[in-house]
Structure 1
């Protein structure tokens, strides 16, 4: 999922960059076309008044301007990019690699003691940072950025070597030095206005706990450091609104550290402290997210939206893992509370920044998903789809009242997953255990009935709102209603007889018992055919009365299913008496429907 979002964001960025470049080329072309006409307009007062016949319309040739300067500028820009930035970055990397080779060579030949190796690295790193500050003042920012990057990297390596290789520094001292270097990197990034330096500080900051790990768990120290680093990076992102890559990098790294620690060092005794820290991680970024959305006057940045999704996914997944074993039921209330927070944030954003439609939609979708998850956690069995159906029709109503199409769409989605959830239950199509079945008095029947009612109410709401606009959706909801009722009648009929058959099969296999089993099996098949036919007649009558073509078509489909059952299944398995009843009933019903169609066809098809 993360890869999908990253690819989607990258694709959007490529399209935006391509669009901006195209607009820039068009502006340059228009500027060049205006230059000849402008010069002509300036020189015209100095020239004698020409006669109308001899006035050549020079600007007409400006539609084919002189060779544009764009290629020369492009080559210059490329030259500046390669000579200024690329070579600078490669040079800084070469210095780092060269210093590493030199140190390795000197170490292999025992030229320098271990302490001096670290001191040399620190001196070189500090010297490069001083040179970076010097050249920044000399108005050579790109060159200064390269020196700063090299200096910071050498300082990180020197501290790491002093702790991990030579054991010259205790962990707390090395950790403190690493934190200082990270803070220095972020400060230089702000001073140089250099995103690359800030990314280097981000990488060094989040790698520090791994580079200085001793294998001993220290949750408070680790997460306090990560929290401070997260706050620092987000403060920088808040001041540098164009550095949109920092928030998703920060959120990703924060939760990566959390899950790495959880997989190796977490114990049940750490539960409440861990919940506190992961909530702080989420809360800090959630506050930044709200701030960034309220301060902007344009659309939501794609990378900011991605970071918000990563934040809620990382936080809720961790919270669910922490609460699953010991506080599973309580996690439903935590989930619902989180949904209410996002709902409140959405309402505030709608009031203060109504033009921020993507951000509002994102908050609403997160709130609705969390509500559905809370329902699945708190309830069980058929109560889950029952509640989803109720939530679905409420969302359809809310979407129509607020004119938010995505809320209405999510309501329909809830109805869809409610139907799937009913069928996917163990007793969805055949009740288990059958001894506990009571026709029309089970949670399964309540779930089917609630879903059918929700579908009918949703279709009615859409029809009253704007029937023409929602015609297709109304049709599908009507089809869903007919299908749900069909399944409900079928499973209730089958299980009503199956309960008796189950009891009879447990008795001794006497001839009278076998005859009774055969009798009930015939009655089960015949009753099912009758129920299907009566339901088809009811649908057809309602379709004729209300002049709803969808209901009439659904009735015809059910007639077709009933005909197939009678001619294929009943003919093969029913006794002769039951075959007679089945065929005569089918024939009478079909002829009656045909008669009604012929008699009232003008009324039915009247426009």
Structure 2
């Protein structure tokens, strides 16, 4: 193939590619139009360019050689504009931009930073020179002051003259002039007493006013920084240790008031933060360095209040006037200002022995101040709701703190409980999220406060004082607590669908509130039972040796009341667990509570079978064998046993109804069988021992228990065969095995020959009966196994 043919083929391929490119461009443009139409749904009449039909590529047929040589194929122009590549900036443009960046940086240093550093160095230099002249008595005090004012006035005049053309530089000079004026005025009053206090304050007010006007006119924060905040350093640079703190804090208060006035026009945060931090830092360092017997009680409290109110209004002023939303930094400043003032005020009042009784009032006053502010904001609608809720949260916080500061005991618990319930109601029902968040810590504070009350009451009631059950402060506190938590529990059940900001908090509360409520209800009445028997116990106190010195007297008590108290507590616990299961089945129908009831019932049953029955046996022994002659023990020690067993039976019935209710999806019938028959054996065995002991048949329970357990095994075998319950039959065999082990290991050593004969014959007969039953009804066992297969 010669070169001409190759050229023709390449031209044909090029033409085909151009045709394909046109088709692709048309499709791309159509897709762009569709995308634009979808992105702007309002323009329904947007033109949509349909993609032209695809142009098939030309076949690779060799063209006419004449045509190929005479005409060069031109690409078909596309009807759609091709995307152009971005124009790359040339070197000149890049060089120009880089120079602009460099020149801006250079301008910042040359026109802004250097001037500020220069004026600061000038002020320091003037201060050092003045101090040197003062220390060496080079010039008289009056001359020093006059020269200082002259330098400040000259600098101020020069700055005003340059304002028209060099505003930034002029602003820096004004700041330096104002700082010098502060410096000279303070020195004239404090060190040389050339001007009276009233005149010094008047001049400082004038300088502060001028600084405010200048900062607003120049619209430069640097004036306020150097002229006002920079003035904080003046008293410390010129301090001679005279301890005139009243003058210092008055001086600081004037500066802060100037910043307050500025805040109504400008909201220069760095200026406010610097003033806030310096003021509280200086004041806190001074107050913490004082001893508790200082003489500055009134002065410290006065200026702490002035700083607090000034910064409070300053932080709110601009935001409220401009109706701006408070950010995180604003919230932090409000909280810091409130708690720094409260902490310092608490320290000031607490260190004064004549004012400690007013700590609660001081805390309450803090809450009242925040309440008045929140009320003004709410009534006049001065800011967004978040600010109102924030300040109202401060009100609630200080009122909450005032109660334990001023009151003690149950009043704290009552107040916190009521407050938590009200906040929870407002947060959950009225959907004010901040209130539900505030109720969260209060709920646990109230609970821990109640626990502390109980601990103090237990120590108090452990003394020899008699306290009436029910009619006492502790019971009243607990009842109010129960009422508050019951109200919160009912609200939480009704308002479960309301949205929550903190889901984790709501989940914690959904379990914490009912758990705390249940625990407190049980403990409250258990404590009242204990108080009753504690009173009875204390009332039996007698001196067994009345002729002995009182310091060495021997006192005796009727300890039977201690055992009766335990018995009644078990009766109460059994009834409480049964009532809780019944209440859940009939009213609440809560699956979560049903699981809790299941665990509680099992625990109570286990405790009663072990410790409860043992305590009832001790009551019987106390009746049969009293260990003293001073007190009489009645037959109720025996009768209470059957009251307890009746309550235990009631709990077993409620347990059965609970596990067979719709609240459980799992089948607990096997568990209940084990629980029922083990409990029945345990109670019957205890009762057998009780009857034998009352009959004064010492040691007979060994023989009786072996025969009883064998008979009970036979009963379980028959029941297991009748109801096709394999677990009962296996349990019966295990019990019979335990009985045989007891017989050969324990009983034989202590039984007489007749007793051994009776036991062996009885158990042998029982074994034969069991074997006979298995042989007679073995088809039932086989059928049962096959059915299960």
TM-score higher than 0.5: yes
Report the equivalent of 2:473: 443
Matched, 1:385 2:410: no
Shift of the 215–554 alpha-carbon distance from structure 1 to 2, 3 Å rule, reads: farther
Matched, 1:494 2:568: no
Report the equivalent of 1:92: 119
- Residue range with higher mean Cα deviation, 316-325 or 498-507: 316-325
Find the aligned partners of 2:511 and 2:442 in 1 and give their Cα distance: 17
Report the equivalent of 1:477: 513
Shift of the 71–425 alpha-carbon distance from structure 1 to 2, 3 Å rule, reads: farther
- Report which structure shows greater RCO (CA 8 Å, sep ≥6): 1
Which of these residues, 573, 586, 590, is aligned with residue 532 of structure 1?
Answer: 573
Find the aligned partners of 1:233 and 1:410 in 2 and give their Cα distance: 33
Larger Rg over CA atoms: 2
SS of aligned partner of 1:449: helix
Report the equivalent of 1:555: 597
Shift of the 307–182 alpha-carbon distance from structure 1 to 2, 3 Å rule, reads: same
Report the equivalent of 1:599: 660
**1:212-223 counterparts in 2 under 5 A?**
none
Matched, 1:129 2:156: yes
Q: Is the 8 A contact 2:417 2:481 kept in 1?
A: yes
Find the aligned partners of 2:342 and 2:292 in 1 and give their Cα distance: 17
Shift of 1:453: 1.4
Report the equivalent of 1:198: 224
Matched, 1:464 2:490: no
Find the aligned partners of 2:257 and 2:184 in 1 and give their Cα distance: 26
Report the equivalent of 2:774: none
Q: Deviations over 1:81-139 (max 9, x none)?
A: 33333333322333334445555677788766665555444433333333333333223
SS of aligned partner of 1:402: coil
SS of aligned partner of 2:163: helix
Shift of 1:283: 5.3
Q: Is the 8 A contact 1:293 1:359 kept in 2?
A: no
Shift of the 164–468 alpha-carbon distance from structure 1 to 2, 3 Å rule, reads: closer
Shift of 1:532: 2.5
Shift of 1:257: 7.3
Find the aligned partners of 2:217 and 2:649 in 1 and give their Cα distance: 90
SS of aligned partner of 1:239: coil
Find the aligned partners of 2:420 and 2:486 in 1 and give their Cα distance: 12
Q: Is the 8 A contact 2:542 2:557 kept in 1?
A: no
Report the equivalent of 2:110: 83
Shift of 1:150: 3.6
Shift of the 513–506 alpha-carbon distance from structure 1 to 2, 3 Å rule, reads: closer
Find the aligned partners of 2:135 and 2:234 in 1 and give their Cα distance: 27
SS of aligned partner of 2:408: coil
**1:14-29 counterparts in 2 under 5 A?**
none
Q: Is the 8 A contact 2:577 2:601 kept in 1?
A: yes
Shift of 1:455: 0.8
Shift of 1:369: 1.6
Matched, 1:237 2:278: no
Shift of 1:177: 4.9
Which of these residues, 51, 57, 72, is aligned with residue 83 of structure 2?
Answer: 57
Shift of the 380–213 alpha-carbon distance from structure 1 to 2, 3 Å rule, reads: farther
Where do 5+ consecutive residues of structure 1 fail to align? 1-49
Where do 5+ consecutive residues of structure 2 fail to align? 1-75, 501-505, 547-553, 622-637, 667-789
Q: What's the C-alpha RMSD, in Å, of the aligned pairs? A: 4.7
Shift of the 72–256 alpha-carbon distance from structure 1 to 2, 3 Å rule, reads: same
Shift of the 522–407 alpha-carbon distance from structure 1 to 2, 3 Å rule, reads: same
Shift of 1:540: 1.8
Report the equivalent of 1:12: none
Q: Deviations over 1:514-567 (max 9, x none)?
A: 6831x2222233333332332222222222222112332333443455356557
Aligned length: 548
Report the equivalent of 1:18: none
Shift of the 605–442 alpha-carbon distance from structure 1 to 2, 3 Å rule, reads: farther
Which of these residues, 169, 177, 185, is aligned with residue 194 of structure 2?
Answer: 169
Q: Deviations over 1:377-431 (max 9, x none)?
A: 5643212211221222222223345321111332343332222112223754615
TM-score relative to the length of structure 1: 0.73
SS of aligned partner of 1:300: coil
Which of these residues, 439, 452, 462, is aligned with residue 482 of structure 2?
Answer: 452
Find the aligned partners of 1:331 and 1:255 in 2 and give their Cα distance: 21
Find the aligned partners of 1:265 and 1:186 in 2 and give their Cα distance: 38
TM-score relative to the length of structure 2: 0.58
Find the aligned partners of 1:430 and 1:464 in 2 and give their Cα distance: 37
- Residue range with higher mean Cα deviation, 281-290 or 385-394: 281-290
Which of these residues, 347, 359, 365, is aligned with residue 387 of structure 2?
Answer: 359
Shift of 1:484: 1.6
Report the equivalent of 1:294: 320
Matched, 1:419 2:447: yes
Q: Is the 8 A contact 2:577 2:600 kept in 1?
A: yes
SS of aligned partner of 2:269: coil
Report the equivalent of 2:436: 408
Report the equivalent of 1:43: none
Q: Is the 8 A contact 1:504 1:513 kept in 2?
A: no
Report the equivalent of 2:775: none
Find the aligned partners of 2:409 and 2:217 in 1 and give their Cα distance: 59
Shift of the 177–355 alpha-carbon distance from structure 1 to 2, 3 Å rule, reads: closer
Matched, 1:144 2:170: yes
Report the equivalent of 2:68: none
- Residue range with higher mean Cα deviation, 253-262 or 495-504: 253-262
Shift of the 585–251 alpha-carbon distance from structure 1 to 2, 3 Å rule, reads: farther
SS of aligned partner of 2:469: coil
Shift of 1:306: 3.9
Shift of the 586–91 alpha-carbon distance from structure 1 to 2, 3 Å rule, reads: farther
Q: Is the 8 A contact 1:125 1:151 kept in 2?
A: yes
SS of aligned partner of 2:458: coil
Find the aligned partners of 1:320 and 1:515 in 2 and give their Cα distance: 49
Find the aligned partners of 1:99 and 1:334 in 2 and give their Cα distance: 46
More helix per residue: 1 or 2?
Answer: 1
Shift of 1:198: 1.3
- Residue range with higher mean Cα deviation, 381-390 or 173-182: 173-182
Find the aligned partners of 2:128 and 2:571 in 1 and give their Cα distance: 89
Find the aligned partners of 1:341 and 1:592 in 2 and give their Cα distance: 59
Report the equivalent of 2:551: none
SS of aligned partner of 2:658: helix
